């Protein structure tokens, strides 16, 4: 009878799940894809775009003004950046983002013909009449 119990115990111990044995990986490193920094950057950028797009859709459904919704979102993002980063990194990223946004906005506005109108015209960049009186014109 003891022999039968010993045989059952031996059979149970041979099961790999009960032994907590980690199986050897058959895949080599060549088969596994290693992500580069650019691929990780693109993946995070794609995720952040989806997040902003989902928030944009959410702002259209809410009863408060869109500007207030974006203010709240911006405030929370900046607050978490401040908590999670060192001050020099936070300062560097916030100033560089502000510069990039202003540069891209300037390039975007300069793509319009109305924005880059000739200053010799009687209208300024916004289509208003210029207040500068030209001295070469006479009133008579």
Enumerate the domain spans of the chain.
45-84, 86-115
How far lies 45's CA from each of 42, 48, 70, 133, 137, in Å? 5, 5, 19, 51, 56
Q: What is the pLDDT of residue 62?
A: 86
In this prediction, residue 47 carries a pLDDT of 95
On whether the CB atoms of residues 59 and 70 are closer than 8 A, the answer is yes
Q: Find out whether 94 and 78 touch, Cβ atoms under 8 Å.
A: yes
**Nearest-angstrom CA–CA distance, 106 and 93:** 20
Give burial (CB, 10 Å; 0-12/13-18/19+) of 74.
exposed
Q: Are 97 and 90 in contact (CB under 8 A)?
A: no
Whether the CB-CB separation of 66 and 59 falls below 8 Å is answered with yes
Positions in the chain short of pLDDT 70: 1-19, 21-33, 113-140
Q: Which residue, among 66, 92, 90, has the nearest Cα to 77 in the 3D structure?
A: 90
The pLDDT of residue 80 is: 95
The model's pLDDT over 100-139, given as tens digits with 9 standing for 90+, comes to 988 888 788 777 766 655 555 666 555 555 565 555 666 6
């Amino acid at each position: 009878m003891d022999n039968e119990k010993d045989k059952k115990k031996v059979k149970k111990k041979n099961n790999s799940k009960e032994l907590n044995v980690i199986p050897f990986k058959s895949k080599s490193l060549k088969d596994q894809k290693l992500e580069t920094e650019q691929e990780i950057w693109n993946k995070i950028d794609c995720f952040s775009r989806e997040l902003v797009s989902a928030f944009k859709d959410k702002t259209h459904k809410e009863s408060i003004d869109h500007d207030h919704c974006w203010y709240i979102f911006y405030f929370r993002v900046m607050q978490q950046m401040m908590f999670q980063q060192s001050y020099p990194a936070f300062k560097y990223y916030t100033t560089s983002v502000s510069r990039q946004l202003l540069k891209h906005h300037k390039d975007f506005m300069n793509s319009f013909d109305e924005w880059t109108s000739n200053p010799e015209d009687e209208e300024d960049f916004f289509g208003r009449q210029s207040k500068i009186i030209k001295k070469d014109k006479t009133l008579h």
